[in-house]
């Protein structure tokens, strides 16, 4: 192992690999490696100029026991940036220390000497580069030793019941309702970003942690040390960016359903809300308002004068957002020009098709700047110039017909090497030109994101999830982990997306419990595909805005008087919290703090809070305990030390204990910190 030093960077070379460790922001290090000096120049999620650092670098030697009973002198080196220090030994194994205490070490079971001498015959190295036959990329595997008792959080959104990800195998890939944001927060006081958009996996096992990138040219990760999750997240968003300030005009109710089929239906709903004295901040026009996928325009049969519709909605103080998919049907007027100019995803084998829902489609390649310009110009002409305020960038993973990532290729390279950045690049096709037009903070709705997506005006929702209490519980932990991964603007379909029967009392109970949760989250948004499907289509064509089915009504009054009363009650709660919610959004834009927070985010010194996943903090003031089981009308709530006021009863109680609280259907247990 040969060591050299540059300003704020330690360089190590061995066996064709070049390793570079350098200061990258406060108490943080960036670690990169390549084979044969083939540096890519990609910063990926690390888009923000890091805080100036002055690292201490030391290169020396250390004596190790030799096989003959003597000693053997070998080179070693270390680099220190504030509270974090990394050492590299003669085999290239990196160990990380926070304030002098070991927090993370690469896993190595190959070399003799003091490093796992009894395991040297296993021949397992810390960084394994396995060449992809016939290509210039590598499959990269990086292993770390486990830390007993460590808890791991963040990483984005996965449809599973675990908030603590220790022991979990996680796919690093984007799917409908799965969002890979590869940043983790450790209970040991560090944060770790796998700064690589390649498809792969990570396993936080008890015997070792293993990160895999299936196709890459460069290892790249970033690690920071801090006292607790607030400081970790601040350091992380210092170098990846923060959400802009959310517009105050969108902090109330968003109204949506699958699907408003005509402009008359939209206006009828908006007028009814106005008559009811309920202000909706934004109304959402869902998919298949268009002719065919990829035309990106209203079907004028059912939307004859969209500008007049938008103007009337604006007079009511309602913004308008429309659904835009990246899929382009072969019947679309844009398919030929985009295919000819290489603006669509390429397939590696067979016919060109990436998506097959309601048409034979190929999706756009947003890694190509010309493709981003093309779709924006179409949407500017057909939507933005009519006054449309924002875009619902659905299917933004993208939603492949089959998730065979090795079958697809973008202008940036094989999908295996970069596909996790697809949703971010898709969002930038809209955010950047909207901002250039002088738009107040552009806010677009997406079904997916990646590390750093918070910078691009993304409200990310949890995807097409079932309407069950099990799914509801999973969304709560998903939202908390998304916040710890740096994504503060997160929401769900209230009541879940897929409902068989809106008249089912069990579903209506779920809807109310979910709605109450949504009131105490970043975005309050009504949406869902509501059965039964007994509403006939508007026409018999197999294309256009009239042929596809629609769901049952999904407005606040659609579920009977008692449910309407409860939702109206909590709508008023939401509006009353406007100034508080505005302050939370400001905090997110200034520090990266999420709006919904794990209990340990606010109380890191309380060991009990690191175990809780069925309650959370809405900002620093409100402790929220959603009711997440059918026919549950009371529940236990843990209160950290201090005084807490039960919002529904006004009673103040002492914390430091678990209390049993009543939760009738019209009450979500909420405690205000005194």
pLDDT digits (tens, 9 = 90+) for 618-652: 999 999 999 999 999 999 999 999 999 999 999 99
The reply to whether 204 and 278 lie within a common domain is no
Is 0.75 topped by the overall pTM? Answer: yes
pLDDT digits (tens, 9 = 90+) for 64-74: 766 666 778 88
Do residues 460 and 449 touch, judged by C-beta distance below 8 A? yes
Q: Name the catalytic one among 295, 397, 474, 493.
A: 397
Which are the contacts of 262, defined by CB distance < 8 A and separation ≥ 6? Answer: 302, 303, 538, 545
| Residue 371 predicted with pLDDT over 70 | yes
Residue among 644, 656, 669 nearest 605 (CA): 656
| Residue 214 predicted with pLDDT over 50 | yes
Q: Are strands 280-285 and 319-324 parallel, antiparallel or unpaired?
A: parallel
| Residue 576 predicted with pLDDT over 70 | yes
414 within domain boundaries: no
572 is catalytic: no
181 within domain boundaries: yes
344 within domain boundaries: no
CA dihedral 193, 197, 202, 208 (to 10 degrees): -60
Do residues 477 and 163 touch, judged by C-beta distance below 8 A? yes
Per-residue DSSP letter, 206 = S
| Residue 533 predicted with pLDDT over 90 | yes
Res 120: pLDDT? 59
415 within domain boundaries: no
Res 36: pLDDT? 95
Residue among 442, 330, 456, 424 nearest 379 (CA): 442
Residues 674 and 672: their CA atoms lie apart, in Å, by: 6
Do residues 194 and 156 touch, judged by C-beta distance below 8 A? no
The reply to whether 456 and 499 lie within a common domain is yes
pLDDT digits (tens, 9 = 90+) for 103-118: 999 999 875 544 444 4
Residue among 220, 211, 217, 225 nearest 107 (CA): 211
Which are the contacts of 362, defined by CB distance < 8 A and separation ≥ 6? Answer: 327, 328, 330, 335, 339, 344, 345, 347, 352, 353, 354, 355
The reply to whether 140 and 286 lie within a common domain is no
Res 111: pLDDT? 57
The reply to whether 192 and 284 lie within a common domain is no
Do residues 143 and 126 touch, judged by C-beta distance below 8 A? yes
348 within domain boundaries: no
CATH number, domain at 646?
2.60.40.1180
Q: Are strands 28-35 and 219-225 parallel, antiparallel or unpaired?
A: antiparallel
The reply to whether 280 and 200 lie within a common domain is no
| Residue 422 predicted with pLDDT over 50 | yes
Residue 35 — φ and ψ, nearest 5°? -95, 135
Do residues 292 and 400 touch, judged by C-beta distance below 8 A? no
Residues 623 and 619: their CA atoms lie apart, in Å, by: 8
Cα angle for residues 43, 38, 130 (degrees, 5° grid): 100
The reply to whether 547 and 641 lie within a common domain is no
CATH number, domain at 99?
2.60.40.1760
Residue among 611, 608, 612, 606 nearest 624 (CA): 612
The reply to whether 546 and 666 lie within a common domain is no
Q: Which residues pair with 2 in a beta bridge?
A: 13
| Residue 180 predicted with pLDDT over 80 | yes
Per-residue DSSP letter, 545 = T
Residues 600 and 558: their CA atoms lie apart, in Å, by: 38
Residues 472 and 470: their CA atoms lie apart, in Å, by: 5
Percent of the chain with pLDDT over 90: 93
Domain boundary among 192, 218, 240: 240
> What is the distance, to the nearest Å, from the Cα of residue 394 to the centroid of all Cα atoms in its chain?
14
Burial class for 504, CB neighbours closer than 10 Å (0-12, 13-18, 19+): middle
464 is catalytic: yes
The reply to whether 59 and 167 lie within a common domain is yes
Q: Name the catalytic one among 27, 106, 464, 529.
A: 464
Do residues 198 and 172 touch, judged by C-beta distance below 8 A? yes
Domain boundary among 590, 625, 658: 590
Residues 644 and 642: their CA atoms lie apart, in Å, by: 7
Q: Which residues pair with 224 in a beta bridge?
A: 28, 191
Do residues 60 and 108 touch, judged by C-beta distance below 8 A? no
Q: Name the catalytic one among 106, 389, 394, 602.
A: 394
Cα angle for residues 206, 210, 216 (degrees, 5° grid): 170
The reply to whether 129 and 104 lie within a common domain is yes
Looking at the 3D structure of the chain, how many domains does it have? 3
- Write the DSSP assignment of 265-309 as a string of letters: HHHHHHHHHHHHT--EEEEEE-S--BSSTT--SB-TTT-S-HHHH
For 155, how many CA atoms within 13 A lie in the half-sphere containing its CB? 25
pLDDT digits (tens, 9 = 90+) for 304-355: 999 999 999 999 999 999 999 999 999 999 999 999 999 999 999 999 999 9
| Residue 495 predicted with pLDDT over 70 | yes
Res 10: pLDDT? 98
- The residue range of the domain holding 604 is 598-673
Residues 518 and 494: their CA atoms lie apart, in Å, by: 7
Average model confidence (pLDDT) for the chain?
96
pLDDT digits (tens, 9 = 90+) for 85-102: 999 999 999 999 999 999
Sign of CA dihedral 286, 288, 294, 300: negative
Per-residue DSSP letter, 607 = G
Do residues 153 and 185 touch, judged by C-beta distance below 8 A? yes
Residues in the chain: 674
Q: Which has more pLDDT, 254 or 112?
A: 254
182 within domain boundaries: yes
Q: What is the 3-state secondary structure (H, E, C) of 560-595?
A: CHHHHHHHHHHHHHHHHCHHHHHHHHHHHHHHCCCC
pLDDT digits (tens, 9 = 90+) for 429-476: 999 999 999 878 999 999 999 999 999 999 999 999 999 999 999 999
Specify the range with the lowest mean pLDDT, choosing from 52-56, 141-145, 557-561: 52-56
525 within domain boundaries: yes
Residues 506 and 496: their CA atoms lie apart, in Å, by: 13
The reply to whether 236 and 260 lie within a common domain is no
The reply to whether 40 and 163 lie within a common domain is yes
Domain boundary among 530, 556, 590: 590
Query: How many helices (H) and strands (E) in the chain?
Result: 12, 41
201 within domain boundaries: yes
The reply to whether 198 and 262 lie within a common domain is no
DSSP three-state, residue 260: coil
CATH number, domain at 546?
3.20.20.80
Res 117: pLDDT? 46
583 is catalytic: no
Res 67: pLDDT? 62
How many CB atoms within 10 Å of residue 234?
18
Where helices occur in 413-504 by DSSP H, the ranges are: 415-418, 422-436, 469-484
């Amino acid at each position: 192992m040969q060591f050299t030093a540059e300003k704020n960077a330690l360089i190590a070379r061995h066996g064709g690999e070049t390793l570079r460790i350098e200061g990258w922001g406060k108490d943080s290090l960036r670690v990169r490696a390549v084979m044969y000096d083939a540096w890519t120049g990609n910063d990926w999620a690390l888009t923000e100029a890091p805080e100036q650092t002055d690292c201490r670098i030391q290169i020396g030697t250390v004596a190790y026991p030799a096989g003959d009973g003597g000693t053997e002198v070998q080179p070693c080196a270390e680099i220190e940036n504030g509270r974090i220090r990394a050492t590299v030994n003669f085999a290239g194994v990196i160990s990380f220390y926070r304030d002098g205490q070991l927090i993370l070490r690469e896993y190595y079971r190959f070399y003799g000497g003091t490093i796992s001498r009894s395991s040297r015959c296993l021949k397992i190295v810390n960084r394994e580069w396995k060449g992809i036959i016939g290509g210039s990329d590598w499959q990269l595997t990086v292993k770390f030793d486990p830390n007993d008792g460590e808890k791991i959080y963040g990483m984005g959104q996965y449809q599973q019941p675990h908030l603590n990800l220790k022991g979990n195998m996680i796919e690093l890939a984007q799917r409908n309702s799965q969002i890979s944001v590869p940043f983790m927060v450790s209970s040991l006081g560090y944060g770790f970003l796998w700064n690589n958009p390649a498809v792969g996996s990570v396993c936080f096992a008890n015997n070792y942690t293993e990160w895999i990138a299936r196709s890459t040219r460069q290892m790249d990760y970033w690690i920071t040390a801090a006292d607790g999750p607030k400081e970790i997240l601040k350091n992380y968003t210092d170098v990846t960016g923060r959400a802009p300030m959310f517009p105050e005009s969108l902090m109330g109710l968003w109204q949506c359903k699958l699907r408003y089929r005509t402009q008359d239906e939209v206006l009828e709903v908006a007028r009814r809300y106005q008559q009811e004295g309920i202000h909706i901040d934004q109304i959402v026009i869902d998919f298949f308002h268009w002719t065919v996928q990829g035309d990106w325009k209203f079907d004028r049969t059912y939307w004859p004068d969209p500008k007049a519709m938008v103007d009337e909605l604006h007079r009511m103080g309602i913004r308008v957002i429309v659904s835009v998919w990246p899929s382009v049907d072969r019947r679309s007027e844009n398919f030929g020009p985009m295919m000819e100019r290489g603006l669509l995803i390429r397939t590696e084998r067979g016919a060109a098709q990436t998506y097959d829902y309601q048409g034979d489609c190929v999706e756009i390649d947003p890694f190509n700047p010309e493709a981003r310009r093309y779709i924006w110009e179409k949407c500017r002409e057909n939507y933005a110039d009519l006054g449309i305020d924002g875009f619902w960038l659905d299917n933004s993973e993208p939603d492949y017909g089959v998730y065979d990532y090795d079958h697809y290729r973008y202008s940036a390279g094989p999908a295996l090497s970069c596909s996790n950045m697809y949703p971010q690049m898709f969002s930038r096709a809209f955010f950047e030109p909207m901002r250039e037009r002088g738009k107040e903070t552009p806010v677009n709705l997406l079904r997916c994101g990646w590390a750093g997506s918070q910078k691009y005006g993304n409200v990310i929702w949890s995807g097409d999830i079932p309407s069950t209490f099990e799914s509801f519980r999973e969304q709560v932990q998903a939202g908390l982990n998304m916040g710890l991964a740096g994504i503060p603007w997160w929401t769900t379909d209230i009541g879940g997306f897929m409902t068989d029967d809106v008249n089912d009392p069990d579903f209506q109970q779920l809807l109310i419990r979910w709605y109450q949760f949504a009131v105490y989250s970043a975005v309050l948004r009504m949406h869902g595909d509501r059965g039964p499907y007994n509403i006939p289509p508007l026409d018999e064509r197999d294309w256009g805005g009239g042929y596809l089915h629609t769901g049952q009504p999904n407005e606040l009054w659609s579920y009977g008087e008692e449910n309407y009363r409860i939702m109206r009650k909590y709508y008023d709660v939401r509006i009353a919290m406007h100034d508080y919610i505005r302050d939370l959004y400001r905090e997110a834009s200034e520090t990266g703090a999420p709006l919904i927070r794990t209990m340990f985010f606010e109380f890191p010194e309380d060991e009990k809070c690191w175990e809780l996943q069925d309650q959370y903090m809405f900002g620093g003031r409100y402790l929220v305990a959603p009711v997440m089981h059918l026919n549950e009308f009371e529940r236990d709530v843990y209160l950290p030390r201090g005084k807490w006021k039960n919002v529904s009863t006004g009673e103040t109680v002492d914390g430091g204990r678990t209390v049993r609280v009543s939760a009738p259907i019209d009450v979500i247990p909420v405690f205000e910190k005194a």
